[in-house]
A and B are shown apart, each in its own frame.
Chain A
Amino acid sequence: MKQIKVLGSGCHNCEITANVIAQAAKDVGVEVEIEKVTDIAEIMAYGVMSTPGVVVDDKVVHAGGIPGPDQVRAWVRE
């Protein structure tokens, strides 16, 4: 199962990002585990400074802003 982490210290956009990913996974029919990382030390350990960031299977795929729907679908599919 895919491990997806949403990095962000609880801002509004991080919530939206997590929801967008959950919805996309449901649409595509893939099971994913979404974890919200709010600890600043852990976020920075990924080298991300602009939140929300997205980590798929321990690889940073996105930083800064809400990702587009095409991007999200690509992450849950691959």
Chain B
Amino acid sequence: MFDAFANALAFGVLGLDPSSHTGAAVQFFIMDVAKIFVLLFVVIYTMGLLRALVAPERVREFIRGRPDWQARGLAVSLGAVTPFCSCSSVPLFIGFVEAGIPLGVTFSFLIASPMINEVAAVILVGILGWKLAALYVVAGLVVAWFGGIVMQRFRPERWVEDYVWQIQVGKADLPKPDTTFAGRHHYALAEVREIVGRIWTWVLIGIGVGALFHGFVPAGWVSENLGGDSWYTVPAAVVLGIPLYSNATGVIPVAEAMLGKGVAVGTTLALMMSVAALSLPEMLILRKVIQWQALALFAAVLAVAFTLVGWGFNAIV
């Protein structure tokens, strides 16, 4: 349906040549804008209606005081179902510390949260199919689980800024949510506005990059250079992803274009994870609560983990 719509608009209305570079890029762009934004609205609205989005205040209450493995399991899965704004990272971090949640568990949450969320997961299924979506989600969960454990080994407590330990978190009795249908509807609409308002630029940029890749990068060049035969493409993809930042949803169209041209699956997944989870703005925000050493270690652990994931998938698939 989206394909036909994009064909009609790009080749019919705009009169572009389907075999030209520009034609292919424009068709890809129109198709993905329509498809992804429709999916975004539907998914976020539905989640909002079900009130499936968990507030960070509740996450903390769920996790605190549990044995390590349970706490980590909850941190990873709650991180995966909560599309938090990175501006909430600092209060979350402090709230976790204050609740006595181990730092390794907190890191597991911080890894899972930007990389996986239910909105991105549904769009992944819609664009790349459920197999790749499952690969991405499972790989992300595994990295979050073990990444936190590795971080714990380095005793990151010594790098937490002193003032963080002093903060006392008050008990807020937040107003009860309105659970009538009208209340849910308003909440869902507000969620759509808030989340789409926050990520639409990333998504558009991602679709733009994907469209250029789809239209202008020759498949022959890709299979020669990025086909997965040479070991260095995966670490190169991870390193490339560090300065690049996008929302998890924004990298999906890029991955779509890369896979379409024959870039190896492991290399694509490694780039996606690196772009979504490792970002300079996020690091700068976290710098308010932990020192550089911990952030450098965090980046290094993730970079190694994504590289291993990439190599693993390239070897299997």
Contact = CB atoms under 8 A, between A and B. Distances in A.
Contact of B91 (A43, A65, A68): A43
B172 interface: yes
Contacts of B55: 49-50, 63-64
Contacts of B84: 50
Contact of B169 (A11, A44, A61): A44
A41 B175 CA distance: 22
Interface residues of B, number: 30
Given A44-B169, A44-B170, A60-B174, A66 B186 contact: no
A47 B91 contact: no
A64 B167 CA distance: 20
A45 B57 contact: no
B14 interface: no
Main secondary structure of the interface of A (DSSP, over half): loop
Interface string B160-184: 0001001111111111000000000
B174 to A, nearest CB: 6
Contacts, number: 76
B166 A44 contact: no
B174 A63 contact: yes
A47 B163 contact: no
Given A44-B91, A49-B57, A50-B55, A63 B166 contact: no
B91 A49 contact: yes
Contacts of B194: 13, 65-66
Interface string A48-74: 111100000000111111101000000
B167 A41 contact: yes
A63 B173 CA distance: 11
B98 interface: yes
21 contacts: A11-B87, A40-B90, A41-B166, A41-B167, A45-B167, A45-B168, A45-B169, A47-B169, A49-B95, A50-B56, A50-B91, A51-B87, A51-B88, A51-B91, A60-B174, A60-B175, A64-B55, A64-B88, A65-B190, A66-B190, A68-B186
Interface of A: 9, 11, 13, 40-41, 43-51, 60-66, 68
Interface of B: 55-57, 60, 84-85, 87-88, 90-92, 94-95, 98, 163, 166-175, 186, 190-191, 194, 288
